Protein backbone atom coordinates (compact mmCIF):
# COMPACT_ATOMS: atom_id res chain seq x y z
CA UNK A 1 0.00 0.00 0.00
CA UNK A 2 1.08 3.56 -0.70
CA UNK A 3 1.35 6.06 2.18
CA UNK A 4 -2.02 7.65 1.40
CA UNK A 5 -3.77 4.29 1.57
CA UNK A 6 -1.93 3.33 4.76
CA UNK A 7 -3.13 6.57 6.38
CA UNK A 8 -6.73 5.70 5.63
CA UNK A 9 -6.82 1.91 5.76
CA UNK A 10 -4.01 0.41 7.87
CA UNK A 11 -4.23 -0.76 11.46
CA UNK A 12 -7.81 -1.72 12.30
CA UNK A 13 -8.97 -4.69 10.22
CA UNK A 14 -12.58 -5.47 11.14
CA UNK A 15 -13.79 -9.03 10.73
CA UNK A 16 -17.30 -10.02 9.73
CA UNK A 17 -19.88 -8.00 11.63
CA UNK A 18 -17.35 -5.90 13.53
CA UNK A 19 -17.46 -2.07 13.57
CA UNK A 20 -16.06 -0.45 10.44
CA UNK A 21 -14.50 2.34 12.50
CA UNK A 22 -11.75 1.60 15.03
CA UNK A 23 -13.55 1.03 18.37
CA UNK A 24 -12.31 2.63 21.57
CA UNK A 25 -11.63 -0.34 23.85
CA UNK A 26 -12.31 1.63 27.00
CA UNK A 27 -11.46 -1.27 29.26
CA UNK A 28 -8.59 -1.73 31.67
CA UNK A 29 -8.82 -5.48 31.51
CA UNK A 30 -9.69 -8.50 29.35
CA UNK A 31 -11.45 -11.73 30.25
CA UNK A 32 -10.12 -15.34 30.14
CA UNK A 33 -11.71 -18.69 30.84
CA UNK A 34 -9.01 -20.36 32.93
CA UNK A 35 -6.30 -19.10 35.22
CA UNK A 36 -3.77 -21.09 33.19
CA UNK A 37 -4.57 -19.09 30.07
CA UNK A 38 -3.96 -15.89 31.98
CA UNK A 39 -0.73 -17.24 33.49
CA UNK A 40 0.73 -17.91 30.07
CA UNK A 41 0.18 -14.27 29.11
CA UNK A 42 2.15 -13.13 32.15
CA UNK A 43 5.04 -15.41 31.18
CA UNK A 44 4.93 -14.04 27.60
CA UNK A 45 4.33 -17.60 26.39
CA UNK A 46 1.15 -16.58 24.62
CA UNK A 47 0.05 -13.33 23.05
CA UNK A 48 -3.10 -11.66 24.19
CA UNK A 49 -4.52 -8.69 26.02
CA UNK A 50 -4.78 -8.73 29.76
CA UNK A 51 -4.23 -5.21 31.07
CA UNK A 52 -4.29 -1.90 29.20
CA UNK A 53 -1.06 -0.71 30.79
CA UNK A 54 0.71 -3.30 28.64
CA UNK A 55 -1.48 -3.52 25.57
CA UNK A 56 -4.87 -2.40 24.34
CA UNK A 57 -6.50 -3.25 20.99
CA UNK A 58 -7.28 0.39 20.09
CA UNK A 59 -3.70 1.44 20.78
CA UNK A 60 -2.28 -1.56 18.96
CA UNK A 61 -4.25 -0.79 15.79
CA UNK A 62 -2.95 2.79 15.77
CA UNK A 63 0.61 1.67 16.57
CA UNK A 64 0.43 -0.80 13.67
CA UNK A 65 -0.68 1.96 11.31
CA UNK A 66 2.20 4.22 12.37
CA UNK A 67 4.71 1.35 12.12
CA UNK A 68 3.51 0.68 8.57
CA UNK A 69 3.68 4.37 7.66
CA UNK A 70 7.29 4.52 8.84
CA UNK A 71 8.19 1.20 7.23
CA UNK A 72 9.02 -0.31 10.64
CA UNK A 73 8.09 -3.71 12.07
CA UNK A 74 6.23 -2.61 15.20
CA UNK A 75 5.47 0.39 17.39
CA UNK A 76 4.37 1.29 20.89
CA UNK A 77 2.18 4.27 21.74
CA UNK A 78 3.08 6.40 24.74
CA UNK A 79 1.25 9.03 26.78
CA UNK A 80 3.36 11.85 25.30
CA UNK A 81 6.24 12.54 22.99
CA UNK A 82 8.42 13.05 26.06
CA UNK A 83 7.62 9.53 27.26
CA UNK A 84 8.50 8.16 23.80
CA UNK A 85 11.89 9.90 23.87
CA UNK A 86 12.55 8.76 27.44
CA UNK A 87 11.68 5.13 26.70
CA UNK A 88 13.66 5.07 23.47
CA UNK A 89 16.82 5.85 25.46
CA UNK A 90 16.00 4.02 28.71
CA UNK A 91 15.31 0.82 26.78
CA UNK A 92 19.04 0.52 26.02
CA UNK A 93 20.76 2.75 28.60
CA UNK A 94 21.09 2.32 32.33
CA UNK A 95 23.09 4.13 35.01
CA UNK A 96 26.70 4.42 33.89
CA UNK A 97 25.81 4.51 30.21
CA UNK A 98 26.23 7.42 27.84
CA UNK A 99 24.72 8.54 24.55
CA UNK A 100 25.35 11.25 21.98
CA UNK A 101 22.73 13.70 20.75
CA UNK A 102 22.49 16.55 18.29
CA UNK A 103 22.33 19.77 20.28
CA UNK A 104 19.71 21.30 17.98
CA UNK A 105 16.69 19.53 19.44
CA UNK A 106 13.35 20.21 21.08
CA UNK A 107 13.71 22.12 24.39
CA UNK A 108 11.91 19.46 26.41
CA UNK A 109 14.20 16.77 25.02
CA UNK A 110 17.23 18.94 25.83
CA UNK A 111 16.14 19.15 29.48
CA UNK A 112 15.29 15.43 29.66
CA UNK A 113 18.71 14.49 28.31
CA UNK A 114 20.84 17.10 30.03
CA UNK A 115 19.16 17.23 33.45
CA UNK A 116 16.76 14.40 34.27
CA UNK A 117 18.62 11.49 32.66
CA UNK A 118 21.81 12.87 34.15
CA UNK A 119 20.25 12.48 37.61
CA UNK A 120 19.56 8.85 36.76
CA UNK A 121 23.23 8.32 35.92
CA UNK A 122 22.78 8.33 32.13
CA UNK A 123 24.99 10.97 30.58
CA UNK A 124 24.79 12.72 27.23
CA UNK A 125 27.23 14.58 25.03
CA UNK A 126 25.64 17.15 22.72
CA UNK A 127 27.26 17.57 19.32
CA UNK A 128 26.85 20.01 16.46
CA UNK A 129 24.87 17.96 13.94
CA UNK A 130 26.60 19.74 11.07
CA UNK A 131 30.06 18.70 12.30
CA UNK A 132 32.13 16.17 10.37
CA UNK A 133 31.77 12.43 10.94
CA UNK A 134 35.15 12.41 12.70
CA UNK A 135 34.11 15.20 15.08
CA UNK A 136 30.84 13.47 15.95
CA UNK A 137 32.59 10.12 16.39
CA UNK A 138 35.01 11.78 18.81
CA UNK A 139 32.13 12.21 21.30
CA UNK A 140 31.73 8.42 21.62
CA UNK A 141 33.12 6.41 24.54
CA UNK A 142 33.05 2.66 25.26
CA UNK A 143 29.83 3.19 27.26
CA UNK A 144 28.00 5.07 24.47
CA UNK A 145 24.77 3.25 23.56
CA UNK A 146 22.93 5.49 21.06
CA UNK A 147 23.02 8.48 18.76
CA UNK A 148 19.99 10.80 18.67
CA UNK A 149 18.78 13.59 16.36
CA UNK A 150 15.63 15.24 14.96
CA UNK A 151 14.78 15.06 11.25
CA UNK A 152 13.75 18.72 11.40
CA UNK A 153 14.75 20.34 14.66
CA UNK A 154 12.07 22.10 16.72
CA UNK A 155 12.38 25.07 16.64
CA UNK A 156 15.82 25.51 15.05
CA UNK A 157 14.58 23.87 11.79
CA UNK A 158 18.01 22.35 11.13
CA UNK A 159 17.63 19.38 8.77
CA UNK A 160 19.48 16.29 9.96
CA UNK A 161 21.88 14.54 7.59
CA UNK A 162 20.37 11.19 8.55
CA UNK A 163 22.74 9.11 6.39
CA UNK A 164 25.75 10.76 7.98
CA UNK A 165 24.39 10.19 11.49
CA UNK A 166 23.57 6.56 10.63
CA UNK A 167 27.12 5.98 9.36
CA UNK A 168 28.63 7.39 12.56
CA UNK A 169 26.24 5.42 14.79
CA UNK A 170 26.80 2.14 12.98
CA UNK A 171 30.58 2.54 12.83
CA UNK A 172 30.39 2.85 16.63
CA UNK A 173 28.09 -0.16 17.01
CA UNK A 174 25.08 1.78 18.29
CA UNK A 175 21.59 2.50 16.89
CA UNK A 176 20.48 5.84 15.46
CA UNK A 177 17.29 7.15 17.08
CA UNK A 178 15.48 9.86 15.10
CA UNK A 179 12.66 12.11 16.28
CA UNK A 180 10.57 12.43 13.11
CA UNK A 181 7.78 14.58 14.60
CA UNK A 182 7.99 17.59 12.27
CA UNK A 183 8.56 15.78 8.98
CA UNK A 184 6.09 12.93 9.62
CA UNK A 185 6.43 9.76 7.55
CA UNK A 186 4.56 11.56 4.77
CA UNK A 187 7.60 13.73 4.09
CA UNK A 188 10.47 11.56 5.33
CA UNK A 189 10.98 7.97 6.40
CA UNK A 190 14.21 7.92 8.42
CA UNK A 191 14.47 4.11 8.24
CA UNK A 192 15.08 4.42 4.49
CA UNK A 193 18.18 6.47 5.32
CA UNK A 194 19.60 4.16 7.98
CA UNK A 195 17.85 5.16 11.22
CA UNK A 196 17.07 2.23 13.53
CA UNK A 197 14.45 3.63 15.89
CA UNK A 198 12.00 6.46 15.15
CA UNK A 199 10.01 8.37 17.72
CA UNK A 200 7.25 10.94 17.43
CA UNK A 201 5.26 13.33 19.45
CA UNK A 202 1.88 12.29 17.96
CA UNK A 203 0.59 15.47 19.61
CA UNK A 204 1.73 17.42 16.56
CA UNK A 205 0.88 16.70 12.90
CA UNK A 206 -0.23 13.09 13.45
CA UNK A 207 -3.09 14.17 15.68
CA UNK A 208 -3.12 17.39 13.71
CA UNK A 209 -5.99 19.06 15.55
CA UNK A 210 -4.34 19.76 18.92
CA UNK A 211 -6.76 17.43 20.66
CA UNK A 212 -4.51 14.94 22.48
CA UNK A 213 -0.99 14.65 23.80
CA UNK A 214 0.72 11.42 22.78
CA UNK A 215 3.83 9.75 21.46
CA UNK A 216 5.09 6.67 19.69
CA UNK A 217 8.28 4.59 19.47
CA UNK A 218 8.76 2.72 16.18
CA UNK A 219 11.26 -0.10 15.68
CA UNK A 220 12.78 -0.77 12.25
CA UNK A 221 13.85 -4.24 13.41
CA UNK A 222 17.14 -3.67 11.59
CA UNK A 223 19.62 -3.17 14.40
CA UNK A 224 21.67 -6.22 15.44
CA UNK A 225 21.81 -5.98 19.24
CA UNK A 226 24.24 -8.89 19.37
CA UNK A 227 26.80 -7.45 16.94
CA UNK A 228 29.10 -6.35 19.77
CA UNK A 229 28.74 -9.03 22.47
CA UNK A 230 27.68 -7.59 25.81
CA UNK A 231 27.02 -4.07 24.47
CA UNK A 232 23.26 -4.23 25.10
CA UNK A 233 22.86 -6.63 28.03
CA UNK A 234 19.27 -5.53 28.70
CA UNK A 235 18.31 -7.09 25.36
CA UNK A 236 20.76 -9.96 25.04
CA UNK A 237 20.99 -11.26 28.61
CA UNK A 238 18.27 -12.85 30.77
CA UNK A 239 15.62 -10.57 32.31
CA UNK A 240 15.07 -11.69 35.93
CA UNK A 241 11.62 -10.07 35.91
CA UNK A 242 10.49 -12.66 33.32
CA UNK A 243 12.07 -15.83 34.77
CA UNK A 244 15.30 -15.24 32.84
CA UNK A 245 13.84 -14.73 29.38
CA UNK A 246 16.22 -13.13 26.83
CA UNK A 247 14.55 -10.66 24.46
CA UNK A 248 16.81 -11.20 21.43
CA UNK A 249 16.45 -14.98 21.74
CA UNK A 250 12.70 -15.04 22.27
CA UNK A 251 11.65 -12.18 20.01
CA UNK A 252 14.41 -11.78 17.39
CA UNK A 253 13.89 -8.62 15.38
CA UNK A 254 11.09 -7.58 17.76
CA UNK A 255 13.44 -7.60 20.80
CA UNK A 256 13.67 -3.82 21.30
CA UNK A 257 9.98 -2.98 20.97
CA UNK A 258 8.92 -6.03 22.98
CA UNK A 259 11.22 -5.08 25.84
CA UNK A 260 9.93 -1.50 25.73
CA UNK A 261 6.36 -2.77 26.04
CA UNK A 262 6.60 -5.67 28.46
CA UNK A 263 9.30 -4.26 30.72
CA UNK A 264 9.37 -0.44 30.55
CA UNK A 265 5.65 0.07 30.03
CA UNK A 266 4.84 -2.58 32.63
CA UNK A 267 7.07 -0.87 35.19
CA UNK A 268 6.72 2.83 34.31
CA UNK A 269 3.26 2.89 32.76
CA UNK A 270 3.12 5.94 30.48
CA UNK A 271 0.43 4.52 28.24
CA UNK A 272 -1.60 6.48 25.75
CA UNK A 273 -5.28 6.37 26.64
CA UNK A 274 -7.38 4.45 24.08
CA UNK A 275 -9.51 7.57 23.70
CA UNK A 276 -6.48 9.59 22.63
CA UNK A 277 -5.29 6.80 20.34
CA UNK A 278 -8.68 6.94 18.62
CA UNK A 279 -8.23 10.68 18.04
CA UNK A 280 -4.68 10.21 16.74
CA UNK A 281 -6.08 7.65 14.31
CA UNK A 282 -8.65 10.13 13.03
CA UNK A 283 -5.81 12.59 12.51
CA UNK A 284 -3.74 10.01 10.66
CA UNK A 285 -6.60 9.40 8.24
CA UNK A 286 -5.99 12.86 6.74
CA UNK A 287 -2.25 13.29 7.42
CA UNK A 288 -1.39 12.76 3.74
CA UNK A 289 -3.79 15.58 2.76
CA UNK A 290 -2.81 18.02 5.48
CA UNK A 291 0.98 17.81 5.16
CA UNK A 292 1.20 19.05 1.55
CA UNK A 293 -1.15 21.92 2.45
CA UNK A 294 0.94 22.87 5.52
CA UNK A 295 4.05 22.80 3.34
CA UNK A 296 2.73 24.85 0.43
CA UNK A 297 1.19 27.43 2.79
CA UNK A 298 4.45 27.65 4.76
CA UNK A 299 6.46 28.07 1.56
CA UNK A 300 4.27 31.00 0.51
CA UNK A 301 4.42 32.62 3.96
CA UNK A 302 8.23 32.19 4.06
CA UNK A 303 8.63 33.76 0.63
CA UNK A 304 6.30 36.60 1.59
CA UNK A 305 8.27 37.34 4.77
CA UNK A 306 11.58 37.10 2.95
CA UNK A 307 10.73 39.97 0.59
CA UNK A 308 9.56 42.25 3.44
CA UNK A 309 12.30 44.67 4.41
CA UNK A 310 11.17 44.75 8.06
CA UNK A 311 12.04 41.06 8.38
CA UNK A 312 15.65 40.48 9.46
CA UNK A 313 15.85 36.80 8.54
CA UNK A 314 13.68 33.77 7.68
CA UNK A 315 14.54 30.09 8.12
CA UNK A 316 12.69 27.49 6.10
CA UNK A 317 14.52 24.76 4.26
CA UNK A 318 12.21 25.24 1.27
CA UNK A 319 13.79 28.67 0.61
CA UNK A 320 16.62 28.66 -1.90
CA UNK A 321 19.74 29.89 -0.13
CA UNK A 322 18.60 28.57 3.26
CA UNK A 323 21.42 26.86 5.16
CA UNK A 324 19.45 23.59 4.99
CA UNK A 325 18.06 23.89 1.47
CA UNK A 326 20.28 21.11 0.03
CA UNK A 327 19.66 18.69 2.90
CA UNK A 328 15.96 19.53 2.60
CA UNK A 329 15.97 18.70 -1.11
CA UNK A 330 17.63 15.38 -0.33
CA UNK A 331 15.58 14.18 2.64
CA UNK A 332 12.35 16.17 2.21
CA UNK A 333 11.87 16.59 -1.55
CA UNK A 334 8.08 16.90 -1.28
CA UNK A 335 8.14 19.51 1.48
CA UNK A 336 9.40 19.69 5.06
CA UNK A 337 6.72 20.90 7.47
CA UNK A 338 4.50 23.88 8.20
CA UNK A 339 6.80 25.48 10.73
CA UNK A 340 8.96 28.46 9.79
CA UNK A 341 11.07 30.73 11.95
CA UNK A 342 12.00 34.35 11.50
CA UNK A 343 13.22 37.44 13.31
CA UNK A 344 12.21 41.07 12.88
CA UNK A 345 14.44 44.09 12.57
CA UNK A 346 14.24 45.75 15.96
CA UNK A 347 14.87 42.43 17.71
CA UNK A 348 13.14 40.82 20.65
CA UNK A 349 10.81 43.71 21.58
CA UNK A 350 9.51 44.20 18.04
CA UNK A 351 9.01 40.45 17.66
CA UNK A 352 6.88 40.37 20.81
CA UNK A 353 4.84 43.41 19.65
CA UNK A 354 4.26 41.71 16.30
CA UNK A 355 3.02 38.55 17.95
CA UNK A 356 0.68 40.40 20.29
CA UNK A 357 -1.00 42.03 17.28
CA UNK A 358 -1.69 38.85 15.34
CA UNK A 359 -5.40 38.04 15.16
CA UNK A 360 -5.75 34.83 13.17
CA UNK A 361 -2.51 33.28 14.42
CA UNK A 362 -2.89 32.48 18.10
CA UNK A 363 -0.15 32.53 20.71
CA UNK A 364 -0.10 28.95 21.95
CA UNK A 365 2.58 26.56 23.18
CA UNK A 366 1.49 24.11 20.55
CA UNK A 367 2.85 23.72 17.03
CA UNK A 368 1.91 21.67 14.04
CA UNK A 369 -1.85 21.60 13.98
CA UNK A 370 -4.51 22.73 11.55
CA UNK A 371 -4.68 26.26 13.01
CA UNK A 372 -1.91 28.78 12.47
CA UNK A 373 -0.10 29.46 15.72
CA UNK A 374 2.88 31.41 16.93
CA UNK A 375 5.36 31.29 19.80
CA UNK A 376 8.47 33.07 21.03
CA UNK A 377 10.67 30.19 22.27
CA UNK A 378 13.12 32.38 24.21
CA UNK A 379 10.20 33.62 26.35
CA UNK A 380 8.21 30.37 26.34
CA UNK A 381 9.34 26.78 25.59
CA UNK A 382 13.05 27.50 25.96
CA UNK A 383 12.77 29.85 28.94
CA UNK A 384 14.93 27.60 31.13
CA UNK A 385 17.87 27.67 28.73
CA UNK A 386 20.80 30.02 29.16
CA UNK A 387 21.78 32.26 26.24
CA UNK A 388 24.62 29.87 25.33
CA UNK A 389 22.23 26.90 25.43
CA UNK A 390 19.74 28.89 23.31
CA UNK A 391 22.37 29.44 20.63
CA UNK A 392 23.45 25.77 20.81
CA UNK A 393 19.82 24.73 20.38
CA UNK A 394 19.58 26.96 17.30
CA UNK A 395 17.20 29.40 18.99
CA UNK A 396 18.07 33.07 18.55
CA UNK A 397 16.59 35.40 21.21
CA UNK A 398 14.49 37.17 18.53
CA UNK A 399 13.30 33.92 16.92
CA UNK A 400 9.56 33.71 16.23
CA UNK A 401 8.26 30.19 15.64
CA UNK A 402 5.37 30.42 13.22
CA UNK A 403 3.38 27.24 12.66
CA UNK A 404 1.50 27.68 9.41
CA UNK A 405 -1.90 26.00 9.42
CA UNK A 406 -4.16 24.80 6.65
CA UNK A 407 -6.36 27.90 6.40
CA UNK A 408 -6.41 29.87 3.14
CA UNK A 409 -2.87 31.22 2.89
CA UNK A 410 -4.07 34.67 1.78
CA UNK A 411 -5.76 35.14 5.16
CA UNK A 412 -2.60 34.09 7.01
CA UNK A 413 -0.50 36.56 5.02
CA UNK A 414 -3.04 39.34 5.54
CA UNK A 415 -2.86 38.74 9.29
CA UNK A 416 0.95 38.90 9.23
CA UNK A 417 0.88 42.14 7.24
CA UNK A 418 -1.51 43.93 9.57
CA UNK A 419 0.48 42.82 12.63
CA UNK A 420 3.73 44.00 11.02
CA UNK A 421 2.14 47.42 10.41
CA UNK A 422 1.29 47.70 14.10
CA UNK A 423 4.67 46.39 15.31
CA UNK A 424 6.60 49.40 14.00
C1 LIG B 1 6.48 18.43 21.08
C2 LIG B 1 7.69 17.68 20.76
C3 LIG B 1 8.17 16.67 21.61
C4 LIG B 1 7.51 16.35 22.93
O5 LIG B 1 6.25 15.83 22.71
P6 LIG B 1 5.02 15.95 23.76
O7 LIG B 1 3.95 15.19 23.06
O8 LIG B 1 4.74 17.41 23.93
O9 LIG B 1 5.46 15.32 25.01
C10 LIG B 1 9.28 15.96 21.21
N11 LIG B 1 9.91 16.23 20.06
C12 LIG B 1 9.48 17.20 19.22
C13 LIG B 1 10.21 17.44 17.97
C14 LIG B 1 8.36 17.95 19.54
O15 LIG B 1 7.94 18.92 18.71
DSSP for 173-233 reads T--EEEE-TTTHHHH--GGGGT-SEEEEETTTTTT-SS----EEEEE-S---TTSSTTS-H
Alpha-carbon distances of 319 from 292, 300, 344, 394, rounded to whole Å:
16, 10, 18, 18
Ligand 1 and 184: CB distance under 6 A:
no
At 380 the pLDDT is 83
Please report, for the chain, the start and end positions of each structural domain, with discontinuous segments joined by +: 3-282, 290-423
Q: What is the pLDDT of residues 75-85, one digit of tens each?
A: 999 999 999 99
Band of the pLDDT at 412, cuts 50, 70, 90? very high
Neighbours of 202 (CB within 10 A): 31
Share of the chain above pLDDT 90, in %: 88
At 386 the pLDDT is 80
Ligand 1 and 213: CB distance under 6 A:
yes
Question: Residue 115 and residue 119: Cα distance in Å, rounded?
Answer: 6
Topology annotation, domain 3-282? 3.40.640
pLDDT greater than 80 at residue 316: yes
Question: Residue 391 and residue 396: Cα distance in Å, rounded?
Answer: 6
Is 290-423 assigned to CATH 3.90.1150.10?
yes
pLDDT greater than 90 at residue 381: no
Mutate to test the pocket of ligand 1, among 82, 105, 153, 159 (most ligand atoms within 8 A of CB): 82
Task: For residues 206-224, give the mean pLDDT.
Answer: 98
pLDDT greater than 90 at residue 151: yes
Mutate to test the pocket of ligand 1, among 79, 102, 108 (most ligand atoms within 8 A of CB): 108
| 126 Cα–ligand 1 center, Å | 18
Task: For residues 368-378, give the mean pLDDT.
Answer: 93
| 57 Cα–ligand 1 center, Å | 24
Nearest CA to ligand 1 atom 4: 81
What's the predicted TM-score (pTM) here?
A: 0.96
Q: What secondary structure letter does DSSP report for 126?
A: E
Q: What is the pLDDT of residues 349-361, one digit of tens each?
A: 898 899 999 999 9
Ligand 1 atom nearest the C-alpha of 367 is: 15
Question: Residue 124 and residue 110: Cα distance in Å, rounded?
Answer: 10
Nearest CA to ligand 1 atom 1: 201
Query: What is the end-to-end Cα distance of the chain in Å, rounded?
Result: 52
Nearest CA to ligand 1 atom 7: 81
Ligand 1 and 351: CB distance under 6 A:
no
Least confident span in 32-41, 63-72, 135-144, 384-393: 384-393
Mutate to test the pocket of ligand 1, among 80, 81, 365 (most ligand atoms within 8 A of CB): 81
| 201 Cα–ligand 1 center, Å | 5
Amino acid sequence: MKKETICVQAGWKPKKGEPRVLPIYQSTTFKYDTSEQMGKLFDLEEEGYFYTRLQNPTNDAVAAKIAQLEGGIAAMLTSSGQAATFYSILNICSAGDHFVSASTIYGGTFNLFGVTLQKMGITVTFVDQDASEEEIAAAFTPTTKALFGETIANPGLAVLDIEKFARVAHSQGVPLIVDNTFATPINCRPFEWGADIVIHSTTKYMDGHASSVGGVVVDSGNFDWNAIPGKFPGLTEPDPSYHGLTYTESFGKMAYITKATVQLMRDLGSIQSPQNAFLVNLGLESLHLRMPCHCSNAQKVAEHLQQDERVAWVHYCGLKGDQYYELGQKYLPNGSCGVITFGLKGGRETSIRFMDNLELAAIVTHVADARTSVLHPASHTHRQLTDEQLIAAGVAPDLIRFSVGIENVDDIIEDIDQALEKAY
